Structure 1
Amino acid sequence: MALMHHAKDREFPPFVAVAAVAAELAVIFIGATLPTPLYPLYRAAFSFSGLVLTLIYAVYVLGNLVALLILGRLSDQIGRKSITLPAIAFGIASTVLFAFASSVTWLFAARILSGIATGLAAGAATAWIAELSAGKNKLPTAKIASAANFAGLAAAPLASGLLAEFAPWPLRLSYVLYLVLLVGIAGVITFVPETVANPKKHLREISVKPRLGLPQEIRPKFVSPALTGFVIFALIGFYAALIPSLLSESLHQTSPALSGAVVFQLFAVAVIAVGLTGGLASRTAMLAALLLLPVGTWLLVAAQLIKSLPLLFVATTLGGIAGALGYRGSLDLINTIAPSNQRSEVVSSYLIAVYSGNALPVIGIGLLSTLTSSIVAHISLAALITVLAVFALVAERRSAIQGKNARG
């Protein structure tokens, strides 16, 4: 009994605990974009094609899907901490593989493990933050989680790009430092109180059966947020996988520090936008994103065509704003329309759309670039994003009209 009280005394108070879990979420997401400025260096070292590069990036989503479909419900059953620490362990394993990579196979394996780490951590940490901040001092969970997510995604390419440019061991040093960060945050997480009451202790009590589903009554309302998630992450995937290639091939800029800075800008703008637009209604935020996103994407294509770095920065700013508004707005709407007894199934279905957007367009760009040219592939991406954004706007308009008619 005395030992239990002693352990409780060492746990963080709620506000510090929320900050610790948010920091853990940011640290885990560093692994998703840490390799971005290094992809051209890997291509030179291991002699692989642009198509293989897109597959290396996209296989990360395979890890996300494993975490979502097979392991996604575990934190509700065995506890947030019992999933978060293994997520960090997957991140450590991925980092070790990257640090010692000697062939393309190592990169594929490292990306899959990184996807599992972020997939596990995202769901568990978001739920943990919500539970830690419940009560009279309730904090905005979606805002905290989104900001932490984007902060990690922003810091990683900036750090790895600068280290690759100005420090020794360009394909090793970033991962060594990140390994230290992962071990440190694992130690911090041990002091965060568990929020799942009576977590299951025996394997026979645990279910890993995937739960996906959309109740008939919410399907019309689901289409627009799902399409928004898809197109937002299509653009994010493009930046995270292919901006270094665009800079080197079209703008003749081969600096890892510059490519890291461009990706940093995208996510840093998103973090700022999350903070400044917290009072904006979810539907308004999503609709604004759907209007801004095609503009930013076509400006990105224009920057490539006229070889303009300043225009690329403008496009990236618009993309960051659209990403923040679209992700936060669409996720909030999904949580709003989902029945409380089916929320996990509905959110999981939404995340399938998000993960598909993060991977499938990038693979398509790789194929089209191989068969035609990169500019044709990028124009095709801009056209796809524009068409799907219009579909999402139309679907949301129809859903709103149907809702008014049902009430009237």
Structure 2
Amino acid sequence: MQKTNTKIGFFASTISFLMVFAASATPIPLYDIYRQEDGLTYNDLALTAVVYFVGAITALLIFGRISNHLGRKPVAFLIFALTAIATIILFDVDSATPLIIGRLLLGLACGLASSALTSYIADSASFLPHWVPSAVISNSPMTGLTIGAIVSGSLVEFGPYPRVLCYIVVLVILAICTILITVSKETIEKTPGLINSFKPKFSLPQADKRLFPIAAVTFVSTWAMGAFYQAFGPSVAVDQLGTHSTLMIGILFSSYLLPSAIGGPLTAKLTPANAQRIGMVMFTVGVMGIITSLKFSSITMFLLCSALAGASQGAALTGSIRSLLADVKINERAGILSLIYAVSYTGAAVPSFISGQLSHHMDLFHVSIFYGIIAVVACFITLIFAKNPKHVEAEVEL
């Protein structure tokens, strides 16, 4: 019975984590409609990405450890409430303001989820191989974003009420997730100290401190590219690749995100350092191909190179998270996962702000070169400095 409850908790927390990120991607296929019908600019769209990541960072800074004190389940319900409120606000987008507010709340929800729900996943995964929770945690955001973008793009293009139906679907699935979490088993005992937990504090219990800087490089560079897709994906599809189909916009957006779920499992037999190195080399090759496809307006090349970059991202991130979670105790997971995602969101927010400013002076092809430079620099740093956890190094020596 205990094992059954654990399996239900793992399933419920994984589905919920996916769903929160799916909800955050739901408005993205509508961006070109908002731009054409409501007058939003490239900078407005970049700003929606910035506030989304700022919301996520804020949640991690202030609320990243509250699930250690309130429990995983109550924080999951708070996440669902924030997502529902944001979704209701997005029912009526007639300017940049409601879109920005909605994305800010979605960022808060995703930030909380990146600590509480990922900890719930890790807590409930004792019956699974060691690489599975790392792969789920690292790849679920991208997979959820993919699901949200494609389903939303399909409903906008083929369903009735194109500006609201996708949000109704989100609310229905949120209700299902609420039921799943309700029947799941709590995995942590509530402890005092809630107020003190609001003080920003990240933990890095991994004794081998040299592992974090390289992991941070992989988080920043790959999430920055994901932010490019969030801010400019629909505009790239329309202005650089020549398609107005919201379904195709969803597919183009997802071509980078979905393959990341493949990259994680492929690293199961690699050491964390080798997963980081191989992942970052292939990621950089993919990014260079993406930039080239924009130059020649090739949708086919864009899809192929996006898939390569996405799968490589999954490999690099899974390797990094495996290295940082090695030998970490259950009550230390929320702190380190908060740190991981705070760095990732910061790595996405800062380039988004810079690219928004660049969009005033150059087209999206030239903006994309900025992201290519980030990838190249990160690749060289990873190749030179990537290391394995000490217990892995010992196993390799044996």
TM-score normalised by the chain length of structure 2: 0.90
SS of residue in 2 equivalent to 1:253: coil
How big is the shift at 1:76? 0.6
Question: d(CA) in 2 for partners of 1:398 and 1:284?
Answer: 8
Equivalent residue pairs, number: 393
Q: After alignment, is 103-112 or 211-220 more displaced?
A: 211-220
Distance 2:322 2:289 in 1: 28
> Do residues 149 (structure 1) and 141 (structure 2) align?
yes
The 2-side partners of 1:203 and 1:388 are apart by: 37
Residue 72 of structure 1 corresponds to which residue in structure 2?
64
Stretches of structure 1 that go unaligned for 5 or more consecutive residues are 1-7
Q: Could you tell me which residue of structure 2 aligns to residue 229 of structure 1?
A: 219
Which residue in 1 is equivalent to 2:24? 32
How many angstroms does 1:177 deviate by? 1.0
Q: How many Å separate the matches in 2 of 1:247 and 1:82?
A: 40
Q: 1:299 touches 1:311 (CA, 8 Å); kept in 2? A: yes
**Match of residue 381 from structure 1:** 371
Q: What is the CA distance between 1:12 and its match in structure 2? A: 6.2
| Aligned-partner residue type, residue 232 of structure 1 | T
Q: What secondary structure is seen at the aligned counterpart in 1 of 2:258?
A: helix
Aligned partner of 2:176 in structure 1 is 184
Return the match for 1:20 from 12, 15, 19: 12
The residue that corresponds to 1:267 in the other structure is 257
Larger of the two Rg values belongs to structure? 1
Structure 2: gaps spanning 5 or more residues: none
1:311 partnered with 2:295: no
Candidates 187, 195, 199, aligned match of 2:187? 195
- 1:5-404 equivalences under 5 Å are 13-134=5-126, 140-197=132-189, 199-200=190-191, 207-212=197-202, 218-336=208-326, 346-396=336-386
Cα shift at 1:213: 5.9
* Secondary structure, counterpart of 1:394 in structure 2: helix
Given that residues 226 and 354 in structure 1 are in contact (C-alpha distance below 8 angstroms), is that contact kept between their aligned partners in structure 2?
A: yes
The alpha-carbon distance between structure 1 residues 274 and 70, as it changes in their structure 2 partners (threshold 3 A), is same
Q: State the shift of 1:219 in Å.
A: 4.6
Name the CA distance, whole Å, in 2 between partners of 1:136 and 1:189: 20
Maintained 8 Å contact 1:12/1:191:
no
Q: Distance in 1 between matches of 2:371 and 2:331?
A: 37
Q: CA deviation at 1:287?
A: 0.9
CA distance in 2, matches of 1:216, 1:138: 17
Contact (CA 8 Å) 1:26, 1:152: kept in 2 or not? yes
Query: Partner of 2:360: helix, strand, or coil?
Result: helix
What is the Cα deviation at residue 130 of structure 1?
2.3
RMSD of equivalent CA atoms: 2.9
Q: Deviations over 1:214-250 (max 9, x none)?
A: 6998554322110111001011111222121112111
- Secondary structure (helix, strand or coil) at the match of 2:23 reads helix
In structure 2, what is the equivalent of residue 4 of structure 1? none
Distance in 1 of aligned mates of 2:244 and 2:347: 27
Aligned-partner SS, 1:370: coil
Q: Deviations over 1:35-79 (max 9, x none)?
A: 221111111232121011101122101111121011111001110
- TM-aligned CA deviation for residue 289 of structure 1: 1.4
Give the structure, 1 or 2, with the largest relative contact order (CA under 8 Å, sep 6 or more). 2
